[in-house]
Chains A and B, each alone.
Chain A
Amino acid sequence: MGPLSVSHDQEALCLALSGDIDFVNSAPITQAIREAVIQSQPTLVRVDVAEVSFLDSSGLGVLVAALRVATDCGAVFRVERPNANVYGQLEIAGLLEIFGLADSDGGRSVAGR
């Protein structure tokens, strides 16, 4: 299985990322997400990052690019279930609120590590 899997849940587009998301694979993942969002025109884009072990600045760029394309399509964007490290990175990047992780601890408590 690759670092990205795509599924649909009613109006929501569910993207699941896994492994290290970094400068090595960020470009093709960004492209794939962009195509998936434009094609399915969802009202909600959920990115499950529970299986993400590492994000570098390019990996963060993937999430930001996903946010932008979702916003452009008028969809709500959410990042879900980050592990502690990823959560810490998102916190430093000041993205918790924008990714829908700040208003509740729902995303964080599910993360198993």
Chain B
Amino acid sequence: MSVEQQHEYRQRLAALDETVARAQWDPAAQVHRAAGLLAGRVGCRVDEAHTYLLDRAAQQGRPAAAVAGDILTALQGRPGSGSRPLDAEVDKALRPRSGNPAAGRRLPAYPPSRAVDDWGPLVQQVLDAMPGNHMALSPVFGDSAEISDWMIVAVSQETADFSGRDVAQAVGRRITQAYPATVDTPVWQAWRDVMADGCAREVGPFPYMSKSARAPADVLMTAWVSRVGPGVLSRWVRHDEQTRQAERIAHTERLGQLGWGEADLVTGQIVWSDELYRIYERDPALGPMSSDEQNAVTLPEDEPIRRQAAEGFGRGDTVDVTTRIRVGGRVKHVRSVVDAVRDVQGRPVKVYGIVQDVTMQRTTRAQLAEVEQLLQQHQHSLAAEHELAAQLRQIVLPVPAEPFDLPGLRVAVRYLPAEEASRVGGDWFHAALADDGSVVLAVGDVAGHGMHAATVMAELRHMLAGLTVTTTTDPAQLLWHLNRLLYSRATTATAAVARFDPQSRSITWAQGGHPTPLHARAGVTTELAAPRGTLLGAVRAAHYDTATVSLAPADLLLLYTDGLIEHRRHTLAEGLAPVITTLNDISASGSEQPLADLLTRLRRANPDDDTCILAVRHHTPAPPDQPEGDHA
């Protein structure tokens, strides 16, 4: 460029400056320019802006040119970020008059940032009430008017908890400080993009490498970003968390055989959970069953239950019913709890239900009831059998309540039935005068319990009574016969049989596998030495020997069955010891009624078994003219 040319250029510039300066000081032009600029900025007509300017000047009592000058200074200073208070004022004032020129359009890309101070607390309040991870951010501009960072304006409680700091600490910090790992991730870019064009975005899943030691090293995230106020709202989920929750729910469903379903009555859409498909054994590819299809698999017998539930549901009740369905050739018991979201009139708009397969519980309960019934029947029949056996005993073998007298003897008997009805057995006794003038005494025990034992007992006893009249009073002979009878019945029994001779006052006795009688004299009790004898019914050709003992006036003789001494956890000697002690005491005491004392004091060892006790002592009848004392 030449010197002349340079000079010319400067002159022109000076002229321009002069023109501009003149124009700036022309009040009318000033107002026109300001109106035009304003209209362009806020999107209204120029004449509206012009009228507004004049009104405003009038209100403020200032020249229109002065107000216009303010506007020009403000709007020309920097594009889009002029005098903020004025802009806001202008926007606010113009919109009602211009019918909201911004309506239907996206928000301005770079709104005045003054509002950050105002929206933060409000958004925070909103986020406080919401589940999930949310963060409201406001852009921070760098020197080049580019967004260089983000300020956390509000943050949801869950997010704050997750990062281990409270909301108040997070708010006001910059992302680069608080969450540096976010920088340059897809979500970082999304914030800028949303800020630029106002369109909401979904980004991800993208890997997020947290720099916090407490957070998982590498998780997948998806984020949703939208424009809110002068900034963005960012929401995100961690996929591992979602998966974990889903797994947990699925696990619970499977464990509890619980399924859930939802039916939207407005859209007709039905959703089933996986377990519900399993309960109904339906291929998920087929989609959920319609209401009709569900009705079809319900057993017709349960239709009334369903109908009743449906009526209750119509009245607004929550339904809780258990019905049976037939799927896969099996009947299942299904409990359904159904509730609804209802409109203001109470009509359901959305139905949701939890369904549980309770077949196992039901079946178990039904089986239990069945067993219980069987048990009851069994108990009834046991009770009946016991009663019958007891009646039979009573007929065959009435037990005298008081001691009674036979020639030369006083006899006392006690029969203690087993505590459990089913175990009443075949214990028996015999004490009667025989044809030859001797007294035959016996106690016996038929193996087993119940009717069979009672029946055999009756046979034995009748046979013994018959034999003493017709055949013999020899104890060994009697046992020989009893053995033959029992052998033929394939039943075993034990017995001790004694014959008392009133003349010699001696007792001859024999036993078939039976506990030996006890003989007490003056405080000393001895087990009689047992003559040879085998369990009755064990072998066909059994031989029985006899032994003899004399009965002195004060002596006691005790015949008993094994229930008195036998106990499964004690030895026979241990069982016998208390019986011997009792006998010693009573025979030493000189009691006037030793038999009654004995029966009162003797306790059987085994409540499982029945017990028969027969005790005798010497007795001489008093002369007829001298009434006898009531000695027992």
Which A positions have Cβ atoms within 8 angstroms of B?
20, 22-23, 26, 53-54, 56-58, 60-61, 64-65, 67-68, 84-85, 88-89, 92-95, 98
Take A56-B609, A94-B512 as given contacts and tell me if A61 and B448 are in contact as well, using a CB distance cutoff of 8 Å: yes
Residue of A53, A67, A85, A92 near B513 (CB, 8 A) is: A92
Residue of A nearest to B533 (CB): A94
What is the distance, in angstroms, from B337's C-beta to the closest C-beta of chain A? 47
- 9 more contacts with CB within 8 A, not counting A56-B566, A61-B447, are A20-B568, A57-B447, A57-B494, A61-B492, A64-B535, A92-B514, A93-B534, A94-B535, A95-B538
Chain A residues lying within 8 Å of B571, measured Cβ to Cβ, are: 84-85, 88
Q: How far is the CA of A98 from the CA of B494 in the complex (A)?
A: 16
What is the distance, in angstroms, from B359's C-beta to the closest C-beta of chain A? 34
Q: Would you call A60 and B447 a contact (CB within 8 A)?
A: yes
Residue of A nearest to B606 (CB): A56
Q: How far is the CA of A98 from the CA of B534 in the complex (A)?
A: 9
What is the distance, in angstroms, from A88's C-beta to the closest C-beta of chain B? 5
Which 7 A/B pairs are nearest by Cβ-Cβ distance? A93-B513, A94-B534, A57-B447, A54-B568, A93-B535, A61-B447, A64-B538
Q: Verify if B32 is at the interface (C-beta below 8 Å from A).
A: no
Q: Would you call B492 and A88 a contact (CB within 8 A)?
A: no
Most chain A CB inside 10 Å of its own CB: which residue of B449, B568, B569, B571: B568
Residue of A nearest to B535 (CB): A93
Residue of B nearest to A97 (CB): B534
Q: How far is the CA of A67 from the CA of B566 in the complex (A)?
A: 24
Interfacial residues of chain B within 486-514, with CB under 8 A of chain A in the complex: 490-494, 511-514
Q: How far is the CA of A38 from the CA of B131 in the complex (A)?
A: 80
Chain B residues lying within 8 Å of A20, measured Cβ to Cβ, are: 568
Q: List 29 A-B contacts (CB under 8 A).
A: A53-B568, A54-B568, A54-B569, A56-B566, A57-B445, A57-B492, A57-B494, A57-B562, A58-B449, A61-B447, A61-B491, A64-B492, A64-B537, A67-B538, A67-B539, A88-B572, A92-B515, A92-B516, A92-B530, A92-B572, A93-B535, A94-B513, A94-B533, A94-B535, A94-B542, A95-B534, A95-B535, A95-B538, A98-B539
Chain B residues lying within 8 Å of A98, measured Cβ to Cβ, are: 534, 538-539
Chain A residues lying within 8 Å of B609, measured Cβ to Cβ, are: 56
Interfacial residues of chain B within 509-535, with CB under 8 A of chain A in the complex: 511-516, 530, 532-535
Chain A residues lying within 8 Å of B562, measured Cβ to Cβ, are: 57
Q: How far is the CA of A84 from the CA of B572 in the complex (A)?
A: 10
Q: Would you call B572 and A60 a contact (CB within 8 A)?
A: no
Q: Verify if B423 is at the interface (C-beta below 8 Å from A).
A: yes
Residue of A nearest to B422 (CB): A23
Most chain A CB inside 10 Å of its own CB: which residue of B490, B514, B532, B538: B538
What is the distance, in angstroms, from B222's C-beta to the closest C-beta of chain A? 63
Q: How far is the CA of A53 from the CA of B568 in the complex (A)?
A: 8
Q: Would you call B448 and A85 a contact (CB within 8 A)?
A: no
Chain B residues lying within 8 Å of A54, measured Cβ to Cβ, are: 568-569
What is the distance, in angstroms, from B415's C-beta to the closest C-beta of chain A? 16
Q: How far is the CA of A88 from the CA of B513 in the complex (A)?
A: 11
Q: Would you call A68 and B490 a contact (CB within 8 A)?
A: yes
Interfacial residues of chain B within 592-616, with CB under 8 A of chain A in the complex: 609
What is the distance, in angstroms, from B117's C-beta to the closest C-beta of chain A? 86
Chain B residues lying within 8 Å of A92, measured Cβ to Cβ, are: 513-516, 530, 572
Q: How far is the CA of A110 from the CA of B568 in the complex (A)?
A: 22
Residue of A nearest to B418 (CB): A23
Q: Would you call A93 and B494 a contact (CB within 8 A)?
A: yes
Q: How far is the CA of A58 from the CA of B493 in the complex (A)?
A: 9
Q: How far is the CA of A56 from the CA of B448 in the complex (A)?
A: 9
Most chain A CB inside 10 Å of its own CB: which residue of B423, B511, B533, B535: B535
Q: How far is the CA of A71 from the CA of B452 in the complex (A)?
A: 25
Q: How far is the CA of A98 from the CA of B513 in the complex (A)?
A: 12
Q: Would you call A60 and B492 a contact (CB within 8 A)?
A: yes
Chain A residues lying within 8 Å of B490, measured Cβ to Cβ, are: 65, 68
Residue of B nearest to A67 (CB): B538
Q: How far is the CA of A57 from the CA of B514 in the complex (A)?
A: 11
Q: Would you call A95 and B513 a contact (CB within 8 A)?
A: yes
What is the distance, in angstroms, from B202's C-beta to the closest C-beta of chain A? 69
Chain A residues lying within 8 Å of B514, measured Cβ to Cβ, are: 92
Q: How far is the CA of A46 from the CA of B535 in the complex (A)?
A: 20
Chain A residues lying within 8 Å of B539, measured Cβ to Cβ, are: 67, 98
Chain B residues lying within 8 Å of A61, measured Cβ to Cβ, are: 447-448, 491-492
Q: How far is the CA of A92 from the CA of B566 in the complex (A)?
A: 12
Q: Would you call A23 and B449 a contact (CB within 8 A)?
A: yes
Q: How far is the CA of A23 from the CA of B542 in the complex (A)?
A: 25
Residue of B nearest to A23 (CB): B449
Chain B residues lying within 8 Å of A22, measured Cβ to Cβ, are: 568
Q: Would you call A85 and B572 a contact (CB within 8 A)?
A: yes
Chain A residues lying within 8 Å of B534, measured Cβ to Cβ, are: 93-95, 98
Q: How far is the CA of A85 from the CA of B566 in the complex (A)?
A: 10
What is the distance, in angstroms, from B533's C-beta to the closest C-beta of chain A? 5
Q: Would you call A89 and B447 a contact (CB within 8 A)?
A: no
Residue of A nearest to B493 (CB): A57
Q: How far is the CA of A102 from the CA of B490 in the complex (A)?
A: 24
Q: How far is the CA of A61 from the CA of B536 in the complex (A)?
A: 10
